[in-house]
Amino acid sequence: MGRNYFNMESSGIKSMRFKHKRIIVTGASSGIGRAISKRLSVEGAELLVIGRNADQLKNLCEEISTAGGYAKFLVCDLSKEENRKTLCESISEIWHDKIDILINAAGIYSMEAIRNNTPDLWYQLMEINVIAPADLLSKLVLKLAKGAVVVNISSVAGIVATPGSSVYASTKAAILSFTRSAAAELAKRGIRVNAILPGMVKTPMMETMFRFFTKEQQIELEKRHLLGFGTVEDIASAVSFIASHEAKWITGCAFVVDGGLSLS
Ligand SMILES: NC(=O)c1ccc[n+]([C@@H]2O[C@H](COP(=O)([O-])OP(=O)(O)OC[C@H]3O[C@@H](n4cnc5c(N)ncnc54)[C@H](OP(=O)(O)O)[C@@H]3O)[C@@H](O)[C@H]2O)c1
């Protein structure tokens, strides 16, 4: 991704719709979470970016800061409840009681035949893809401002079946279901909760996934995406919309951003 991404004129992004908005992004050290952080920063957000890889997070914050934005990072392995508790305490110390937007993009993938699915694999994926985002919301919900927004990055895998993805797909369906329940429960406080369901997008996760596919299978999979594979910016654009005031009447939504995969 070139530095031009930060140039509002060349990127065509004109809005500062997230000015003064305090936004938390998990999974910000890589791929989709990183692109979301950059995009929202261009649109004026104050960011707390979270991941495990301190160097990558530092590099992201430096890029954002050089481009005139604001971002701080917190390192956290989200797979443990005690770490999530410490993280939320740190967030509260930095931002007291005003969080406007929480974006849960951290996630992990697995590709296994059903005969190889072990309870450990289930626990591992459930912890990061479902329990961590749900637990962060539980721990931060009282700190969310009126009219706050939560965006969970699910996957089209949660609604479209693929052999080998049973564990991953189940976790992505689970976070989608959690999103709907949370939206119903929190609407009375004006808090919107939505899920984005990306199709395949070029990131380190997709590269890992592709190790399981032959060249022919990769081409076939790309064809099933009627508009081809996506980019991280495609997902960041969708998040920018759904998190913004323009989407103020949208909650509990499964926003499919998949280049037409689910139509094929
Ligand atoms: N790429 C796709 O085609 C695609 C399609 C549909 C949905 N998604 C979803 O999009 C989200 C982002 O995926 P991506 O493609 O951007 O993958 P990625 O490049 O591999 O990034 C994954 C992110 O999750 C973080 N993460 C993983 N385990 C963590 C842990 N234990 N604690 C804290 N952070 C952790 C990583 O942080 P560190 O590197 O710092 O550990 C990294 O920032 C995931 O939820 C994924 O399921 C991706």
User: Which numbered atom of ligand 1 lies nearest the CA of 56?
Assistant: 40
Residue 33 is part of a domain; what is its CATH number?
3.40.50.720
81's tokens: 């409840």
Mutate to test the pocket of ligand 1, among 128, 205, 232 (most ligand atoms within 8 A of CB): 205
| Domain annotation covers residue 14 | no
Cβ count near 70 (within 10 Å): 14
pTM of the model as a whole: 0.96
Ligand 1 centre distance from Cα of residue 6 (Å): 22
What is the per-residue pLDDT for 5? 47
Ligand 1 centre distance from Cα of residue 148 (Å): 23
What is the per-residue pLDDT for 97? 74
User: Which numbered atom of ligand 1 lies nearest the CA of 127?
Assistant: 31
| Domain annotation covers residue 11 | no
The domain in which residue 77 lies consists of 19-256
Looking at ligand 1, which residue's alpha carbon is closest to its atom 24? 106
| Domain annotation covers residue 7 | no
Show Cβ contacts of residue 218 under 8 Å, excluding neighbours closer than 6 positions.
210
Ligand 1 centre distance from Cα of residue 30 (Å): 7
Scored b (16 or more CB within 10 A) or e, 74-108 reads bebebbeeeebeebbebbeeebeeebbbbbbbbbe
Q: Which of 112, 107, 111, 139 is nearest to 126 (CA)?
A: 107
The three-point CA angle 247-248-254 to 5° equals 55
Cα separation values, 127 from 132, 137, 151, Å? 6, 14, 18
Looking at ligand 1, which residue's alpha carbon is closest to its atom 43? 27
**Which residues form the pocket of ligand 1, taking CB atoms under 6 Å from any ligand atom?**
27, 29-33, 51-53, 76-79, 105-108, 128, 153, 155, 198, 200-201, 203-206
What is the per-residue pLDDT for 55? 98
Q: How many angstroms separate the CA atoms of 241 and 250, rounded?
A: 10
- Is 5 among the residues known to form the active site? no
What is the per-residue pLDDT for 10? 54
Torsion of Cα atoms, 253 then 256 then 17 then 56, to 10°: 120
What is the per-residue pLDDT for 264? 85
Looking at ligand 1, which residue's alpha carbon is closest to its atom 21? 30
The three-point CA angle 195-196-200 to 5° equals 145
Catalytic site residue from 5, 109, 123, 168: 168
pLDDT (tens, 9 = 90+) of the chain, 264 residues, equals: 333 444 555 566 768 999 999 999 999 999 999 999 999 999 999 999 999 999 999 999 999 999 999 999 999 999 999 999 999 999 999 998 789 999 999 999 999 999 999 999 999 999 999 999 999 999 999 999 999 999 999 999 999 999 999 999 999 999 999 999 999 999 999 999 999 999 999 999 999 989 889 999 999 999 999 999 999 999 999 999 999 999 999 999 999 999 999 998
What is the number of structural domains in the chain?
1
What is the per-residue pLDDT for 13? 72
Cα separation values, 204 from 72, 97, 103, Å? 23, 34, 19
What is the per-residue pLDDT for 9? 52
Ligand 1 centre distance from Cα of residue 188 (Å): 31
What is the per-residue pLDDT for 1? 37
| Domain annotation covers residue 6 | no
What is the per-residue pLDDT for 4? 40
**Residue pointed to by tokens 């992201």:** 60
What is the per-residue pLDDT for 8? 52
| Domain annotation covers residue 80 | yes
| Domain annotation covers residue 220 | yes
What is the per-residue pLDDT for 28? 98
| Domain annotation covers residue 262 | no
Ligand 1 centre distance from Cα of residue 109 (Å): 8
User: Which numbered atom of ligand 1 lies nearest the CA of 83?
Assistant: 32
| Domain annotation covers residue 4 | no
